[in-house]
Structure 1
Amino acid sequence: MYRRWILLALAISLSLFLIACATATTQQPQAQVSATTETPNSKSQQFAKRIVTLSSLTTDIIYQLDKSKLVGITGSNLFNNDPRFQSIPRVSEGQSPPNLEKIVALKPDLVIGAEGFSNPAVQRLQQLGIDSFLTQVKNWESLEELTKKLAHLIDADPQPLLNRYQTFLPDKPTQNLSTLVLVSRQPILAPNKNSWAGDLLTKFQAKNVAAELQGNSPIGGYVTLSAEKVLQANPEVIIVVNPPQGGSEKTVLASFKKEAFWQKLQATKNNRVYTFDYYGLVNPGSIDAIEKACQQLKQDLFLTNNQK
């Protein structure tokens, strides 16, 4: 149980990727940038033509903007069965760090990494003279800014993709229901407002009961809750997130159902408990994953008891 918690904690803390060795990322390259600051592009002001992406989200965004610029991508189970990416070389697989030899062999003029997962690789690539930088998406605005930045780097028009993002959001107010997102049972872990999930709830006008809470959780943007705290909040809607590792680990909801407090919650009594995928709600993952999560939020937060 403790091992499962550690794996989940590492997955969430990186925001873009699963990683088994977060402690290896403490030394950050001095030239690193976020999605909302200027990119290095130190060699020239020419547009990038050969890009290697080290996160699934930046992979998808670059592909949507101009797929011809992608020469190498990270391995991700989000793309394993996606024919769009089958012919593009992988420079990493699963939780393994990026393979620097593979990256260099692809002769990229820009490498885009994920803060937390890619720091050591980006630092080394910069030492080798390859333009590279880190990105991090923690809210909707940073997703839009990242899209604009990547479009600028490859001389593409971001507007069609930005317009698509807007279709994901509700076009009318939701019921403004008190909502609690649960991503772990041991301990009980929930996103506050300083996370992708928390910001997404705000976009859907849901009253995140953990929005203003702060705590000692090692994961930024998340707080640990006691059973008593959940009972006190007594949300109208509960969203339980399936762990990213999948398989037999998809038992978070089942474990909650075994707890005595669970049946006392109004969300449980009113059958307003929903399960979501990790990608899209907790980790943006990809554009399709975000769209799927938004569609499910529209359905579940607009749904009335009479419709259930």
Structure 2
Amino acid sequence: MRIQALIAGLLCGLMLAGVAGAFPVMVVDDRGREIVIPTSPERIVVLLPLYAEILVDLGATDRLVGVASSPNNPPEVVGFPSVGTSFSPSLEAIVALEPDLVLGAWGEVRARLEELGLLVLTVGQTGGWITGIPDVLDAIRTVGEAVGLAPQAEALCGRIAEAIVRIEAVVLPLPRVRVAFLYLSAPDSPPYVVGAGTPEHELLVRAGGENAFGDLMGYPQVSLEELILRDPDVVLTDPAQLENVLASSFLSGLAAVQSGRVYGVQASWAVSTRVAELLRQVAEALHPGALAP
């Protein structure tokens, strides 16, 4: 059913794709507000990595004039003028660049930019949250429309959707694998685990996994004892925290640790145009050898 819904959404998007370069265009932001883009944006500032990735993938990097710094930014935007960090952008630095479109602003920064008359577009759920693959695809389409590259955006969505469908088709008939996706800042500190309603949870399910913490919501912090009690067969974490899991004396008895099935995967790609690549990493961890090279 998920595969059918993804294909249906893709086909619908292809049919609705507008003609590239037709302005003004109207798009809807995360608040449900209609945002009118009067002319083709040529001076764009991006405040979150997803938007930088989208512009890079659409071939619109030359329109960027400023980027908020983040370790998750694509390498193609290294060297662009910085407007602070993604979580604390500088209002003054943004305004000084005289952008005709700001992508990914939220909270007080968005409010101030709009008060100053700047055009701001943020997508996803309210507050700009990306909660899963549908939000990533919607972000690509919306940004594509906003910059006059709707056909290219649909083509990008098509490539991502095709990759996802191919992976799901392989793992669908395979037995589900009990897995925990966690974030551990230090070897023996209580981990934050991935629960339902998160992008990572969706990927675990699509990759043929059974989330050991699927009965919880969001990213709750649990005790090490609780993790040991649930004893998943596979543990996933970000590569930067892989050693924390392996070095934990408390977790050395986990089935996943004992069997060598603790893997680092690129967690930031869960809210990225690289989401299909992350899905493949997760599927390969859960079902070694099932996917063709």
Q: TM-score, normalised by structure 1?
A: 0.70
Percent identical pairs in the alignment equals 21
SS of residue in 1 equivalent to 2:35: coil
The counterpart of 1:236, out of the listed 229, 233, 238, is 233
Residue 132 of structure 1 corresponds to 120
Match status 1:120 vs 2:116: no
Deviation readout 1:86-105 (Å, 9 max, x if unpaired): 4532222476x222233223
Residue 60 of structure 1 corresponds to 53
Partners of 1:254 and 1:269 lie apart in 2 by 10
| Compared CA separation, residues 167 and 302, structure 1 to 2 (3 A) | farther
Partners of 1:38 and 1:56 lie apart in 2 by 23
Residue 210 of structure 1 corresponds to 213
Deviation readout 1:45-101 (Å, 9 max, x if unpaired): 444332211001111112222333322212223448x2x324532222476x22223
Larger RCO of the pair (alpha carbons < 8 Å, separation 6+): 1
Report the AA paired with residue 222 of structure 1.
Answer: Y
CA deviation after TM superposition for structure 1 residue 211, in Å: 1.3
Structure 1 stretches of at least 4 aligned residues deviating more than 4 Å after TM superposition? none
| Compared CA separation, residues 239 and 152, structure 1 to 2 (3 A) | same
Unpaired segments ≥5 residues, structure 1: 1-31, 215-220, 244-248
The counterpart of 2:81, out of the listed 83, 86, 89, is 89
Residue 226 of structure 1 corresponds to 223
Contact 2:246 2:257 in 1 (8 A): no
| Compared CA separation, residues 79 and 149, structure 1 to 2 (3 A) | closer
Superposition map of 1:37-52 within 5 A:
37-41=32-36, 45-52=38-45
Partners of 1:39 and 1:176 lie apart in 2 by 42
Contact 1:241 1:252 in 2 (8 A): no
Residue 189 of structure 2 corresponds to 186
| Compared CA separation, residues 273 and 304, structure 1 to 2 (3 A) | farther
CA deviation after TM superposition for structure 1 residue 223, in Å: 1.8
SS of residue in 1 equivalent to 2:282: helix
Partners of 2:279 and 2:199 lie apart in 1 by 12
| Compared CA separation, residues 263 and 72, structure 1 to 2 (3 A) | closer
Residue 18 of structure 1 corresponds to none
Partners of 1:207 and 1:152 lie apart in 2 by 37
Deviation readout 1:223-265 (Å, 9 max, x if unpaired): 222334323322221113345xxxxx76421443x11xx3433
How many corresponding residue pairs?
A: 247
Match status 1:287 vs 2:282: no
| Compared CA separation, residues 77 and 229, structure 1 to 2 (3 A) | closer
Report the AA paired with residue 45 of structure 2.
Answer: V
Residue 287 of structure 2 corresponds to 302
Q: TM-score, normalised by structure 2?
A: 0.73
Contact 2:180 2:236 in 1 (8 A): yes
Cα RMSD (Å) of the superposition?
2.8
Partners of 1:165 and 1:78 lie apart in 2 by 19
Residue 23 of structure 1 corresponds to none
